[in-house]
Amino acid sequence: MYAIADPASRQTLRPSRGLIPTPDGEQLYYEDMGDGPTLVFVHGWAMNTEFWERQTADLVRQGHRCVAYDQRGCGRSSPAAAGHDLDSLADDLATVIERLGLERVTLVAHSMGACQVARYLSRHGAARVVGAILVAGTAPGLFPDPASRTEPLAAQVTAMMADRPAFVAAMAEPFFAPEPVSPHLVAWGTGLVLRTTLHAAIEHSRTNINADVRADMAAFTCPTLIVHGSADQSCPLERSAKLAHAMIPGSELVVYEGASHGLPLTRSERLVADIAPFVRRAG
């Protein structure tokens, strides 16, 4: 049985894992490990806390506190029927930070998580945040023209409704390409996705494709590190990281040559080596 965080408490809670109630009655599974400068990890589409396990394991051993959580409908969080829009997901991030009493946080976000961080900062401010790290992030949005969103969204919904395991397996190719990965890693990664409810996966696709956070990018007033793969097929560098870098004054852009969208899984050692000194500088 997981511990449930008291909604009325703003004191630091330190069980290694638990459930945090949201204002609309859902429950968010979280893991809280280690001591030291605090990082909060925000996963991308249909993933969960386990996506970050290589980074959190290394960083905890190096003297950091790492908090990760499953977004609503994902992993061990409740299978929410509503609240999958960008505002609600950003508010869930705020709930995690506030219920655990976190201060001086570095936010680390992958893929769609970058848009959630942008919206969080614009809705809740940066009072608790000392830094942000966007890893293969989709911000400021992959489809700025609303007319270009209908076709890819319809295709994804149709494919998931028809044969979700086949759709997820097909998505794994551009997620990891062109980097060589074992079939075991692919199977593990697709397994994480399939633990998200079908409803949440569809709604998160809707949010991801419709995301446009250009107006939110000015809220990045904290030091920001942008890490992206030059060979990212799911989220091309020119349509995301380079734009984000231009929109966030003083941000640092680090490009991993030949790296894919899944670089937290394929380039973990280098990613940790970039995260740790950034946290020291930002904190």
Catalytic status, residue 251: no
228 is catalytic: no
Question: Coil, strand, or helix at residue 258?
Answer: coil
162's CB contacts (< 8 A; 6+ apart) are none
Whether 237 contacts 255, CB under 8 Å: yes
Is-contact 131 282, C-beta < 8 A?
yes
Q: How far is C-alpha 180 from the chain's CA centre?
A: 23
- Catalytic residue, from 84, 110, 228, 261: name it: 261
From 88, 111, 205, 251, the catalytic residue: 111
Sign of CA dihedral 240, 244, 246, 252: negative
Q: Cis peptide leading into 178, omega within 30 of 0?
A: yes
Question: Closest Cα to residue 151, out of 143, 140, 161?
Answer: 143
Is position 232 annotated as part of the catalytic site?
A: yes
The radius of gyration of the chain's CA atoms, rounded to the nearest angstrom, is 17
- Distance (Å, rounded) from C-alpha 263 to C-alpha 271? 8
- Residue 136 has phi, psi (to 5 degrees) of 50, 40
Q: Which of 232, 234, 245, 251 is catalytic?
A: 232
The residues that are catalytic are 111, 232, 261
